[in-house]
Amino acid sequence: MRELAPDTIINNRLNLADLVPDIVTPEQYVPRAWPERDGKRMTWEACHTFRGSWGYHRDEDSWKSPEQLIQLLIGSVAMGGNLLMNVGPTARGTLDHRAEAALSAYEEWIALHGHSIYGCTQSEFFAPLDCRLTQNGSRLYIHLFNWPFRHLHFDALAGKIEYAQFLHDGSEVAWLKPSGNTLWKNSQFPVGEDAVSFVLPVRRPSVTVPVIEVFLKARGCRGRAK
């Protein structure tokens, strides 16, 4: 195949020991990190189903929740990958109400948060607890899988932020600059001089996974983008 059709894309499922695949396709599990082979990061795409079976199954009832679906997408992009979701039509060639509801979960979330997925990949920063990061140049996206109380502490961002906002409504997110007073008072724990603390509303926004969009100074960002 390499000799006769060198542009053919070959994935790892051939299971040939001497073949270095062009793409890795983990199925029905989430990798721990960006898949590598011989120390080199691989192009990869996760393959998942909306529920336990690949084809239509009338009585199968292990459908993933909207949170699971959105987190699968975010987690894949946050590790430099892509996501393929399979949905099976009925014998009539239509999608039942459960499949339509699952697809709607993506439609509704992407409508407000697409900037944090399209064109993005793994971030250069380390994610705070219960968060996943994606990045597109000077735009950093913080996906909050679990909502913290009032403050999100983030290392290595001091002096690098020009502006921050929620993606779902474009409202500004303030942050505390590193200082012994403000950071100690709000964490009761020593916080590094390179850290910032984002000030969040007490109540979680009414979206499946809230996202903070951070405009980074280091990449030459100018002004706000709505």
Check residue 184 and give its pLDDT.
57
Domains of the chain: residue spans and CATH = 12-116 (no CATH), 123-219 (2.60.40.1180)
Please return the burial class of 154, using the count of CB atoms within 10 Å of its CB with bins 0-12, 13-18 and 19+: buried
pLDDT, averaged in runs of 10, over the chain (226 residues): 91 84 93 92 96 91 95 97 95 95 97 98 95 97 95 91 97 84 60 85 96 83 39
d(CA 22, CA 132): 26
Q: What is the pTM of this model?
A: 0.89
Q: Degrees (nearest 5) of the Cα angle 33, 38, 40?
A: 55
d(CA 143, CA 81): 16
Check residue 224 and give its pLDDT.
39
- Confirm if 211 and 136 have CB atoms less than 8 A apart: no
